[in-house]
């Protein structure tokens, strides 16, 4: 036997046969990972974004809010894209609606 034939024979005998199950296929594993990412990360974030948008759309005068910068205030006036907050007696600050982080309704504040 030649060395090349001998080497090929030894490698063929030493290499185990691949044992693939249903999860051994890389495409199936990647598909499962994508589905897991969707249900664990993407879907809950979408739900939180929708809830936050609904809270901001339902803002009314008298609601207590906290901005994303941490400023606490009471809604004084709601406009199309902005909200005027009363942060102290005689102090009004205008914020973009996207800057509202948390909303507490005036009915549930009591």
Q: Per residue in 34-90, pLDDT tens?
A: 999 999 999 999 999 999 999 999 999 999 999 999 999 999 999 999 999 999 999
Six-digit token string for 72: 């606490």
- pTM score: 0.61
DSSP 37-95: HIIIIIHHHHHHHHHHHHHHHT--TT-EEEETT--EEEEEEE-SSEEEEEEETTEEEEE
Number of structural domains the chain divides into: 1
Whichever domain contains 95, its CATH number is 2.30.30
Q: Which domain holds residue 81?
A: 26-104
Q: What is the pLDDT of residue 68?
A: 92
39-53 pLDDT, tens digit per residue, is 999 999 999 999 999
Residue 64 lies in a domain: yes
Flag whether pLDDT at 93 surpasses 90.
Answer: yes
Give a yes or no: residue 10 inside a domain: no
């Amino acid at each position: 036997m030649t060395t090349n034939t001998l080497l090929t024979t030894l490698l063929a005998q030493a290499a185990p046969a691949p044992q693939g199950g249903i999860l051994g296929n890389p495409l199936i594993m990647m598909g499962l990972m994508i589905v897991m990412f969707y249900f664990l990360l993407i879907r809950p974030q979408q739900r939180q974004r929708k809830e936050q948008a609904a809270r901001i759309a339902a803002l009314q005068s008298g609601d207590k809010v906290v901005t994303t910068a941490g400023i606490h205030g009471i809604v004084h006036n709601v406009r199309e894209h902005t909200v005027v907050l009363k942060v102290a007696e005689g102090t009004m600050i205008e914020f973009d609606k996207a800057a509202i982080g948390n909303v507490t309704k005036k009915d549930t504040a009591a």
